[in-house]
Amino acid sequence: MSKAPPLRLGVNIDHIATLRNARGGRHPDPLRAAFAAIEAGADGITAHLREDRRHIRDADMQRLKAEISKPLNFEMAATDDMVRIALGVKPHAVCLVPERREELTTEGGLDVVGQHNALAPVIARFTDAGIRTSLFIAADPAQIEMAARLKSPAIEIHTGAWCDAVNDGDMAKADAEWQRVVAGAALARSAGLEVHAGHGLDYATAETIAALPEIVELNIGFYMIGEALFVGLGETIRTMRAAMERGRARAVAA
C-alpha cells in the first residue's frame, strides 16, 4: 500500500467554453460540465479567465463559484484587473499563469524570478483573503526557490515540455524533462511548498507522474475534453482517476 498522500484531480473545463463560444450561444454549458465532472469524481474544477476571454467568461466564474460543491481553482494572469475580479469571486484557489511573452521563462512557466516584486503583493493579498495561491512554473530550481521565498503556498509544475517530448517520441528529451520534474517536485516539497502539476497530461503521463509522492494535485483539461467527445466526460474522468490510482500505488512516501 502506498503511504503517499491522496492525489487530487482538478478538471479544467475551459474548452467546453471554447466550443460554446464557437457558436456564440449557451451550449455546451461549462457549468454543466463541472457538475458532470464532480459527479464522476473530480476533486475540483479549474477554469482560466484569460484577458481576451477566449473561453471562460466572467459570468462563468461567478456561476461556478455559486453552484459547484467542490473547490474552484481560478487560473489568471497577475494583472490588477484580474486580481480585482478574483477577489470578488473568492475562489478556493488561484493559479497565477503567464499570458504575455514578457511574463514567461524560457521553459514556458511564469517568470517569478523576474517578476518577484510584482508578484509578492498579489500573493499576500490572496493569502489575506483566504485564497490559496499557486504559481505555474517550470521545474527550475531558481523559480522554485523564489516561489518559496515569496511565501506562495503552492506551485504547479508545468509539465508541457515533458508531455510534448513524450508525444513527439523524443525519448532523450522526455527523459531529461522527466528528471527535471522529479527533482523539481522534491525541491519544492522540501522548501515547504504544496506541489501540483499540469499541462498536456493524458492517461499515460498522468499515471507516470502520479507516482511522485510530493505531488498532491493534477490539473488536466484539453486531453480529457477531447476524449469526452468519444466516450463521454464521466467515463473519461473515471478512466483518468483509475490511471492516477495505478500510478499512485507505485509511489513511496515523500
Does residue 72 contact residue 88 with C-beta atoms inside 8 Å? no
Q: Site mask, ligand PXP, residues 162-201, x = CB under 6 A?
A: ------------------------------------xxxx
The one segment of 51-59, 76-84, 115-123, 220-228 that binds ligand PXP by CB under 6 A:
220-228
d(CA 81, CA 54): 16
Q: For residue 105, say whether it is annotated as part of any ligand binding site.
A: yes
State yes or no: 25 annotated in a binding site.
no
Q: Report the C-alpha gap between 207 and 185 in whole angstroms.
A: 16
Tell me which residue of 75, 1, 9 sits closest to 215, measured CA to CA: 9
28-57 positions binding ligand PXP, by CB under 6 A:
48
Residues with Cβ within 8 Å of residue 154, at least 6 apart in sequence: 93, 132, 133, 134, 135, 193, 194, 195, 196, 217
Q: Which of 156, 177, 194, 217 binds ligand PXP (CB under 6 A)?
A: 156
Separation of first and last alpha carbons in the chain: 14
Q: How far is the CB of 252 from ligand PXP (least distance, A)?
A: 26
Q: Does 109 bind ligand PXP (CB under 6 A)?
A: no
Least gap, CB of 108 to ligand PXP (angstroms): 10
β 44-48/132-137 pair status: unpaired
126 labelled binding-site residue: no
Catalytic sites, residue numbers: 48, 75, 199
Which residues carry a binding-site annotation for 1-deoxy-D-xylulose 5-phosphate?
14-15, 50, 55, 105
Q: Which residues bind ligand PXP (CB under 6 A)?
A: 12, 14, 48, 75, 95, 97, 136, 156, 198-201, 219-223
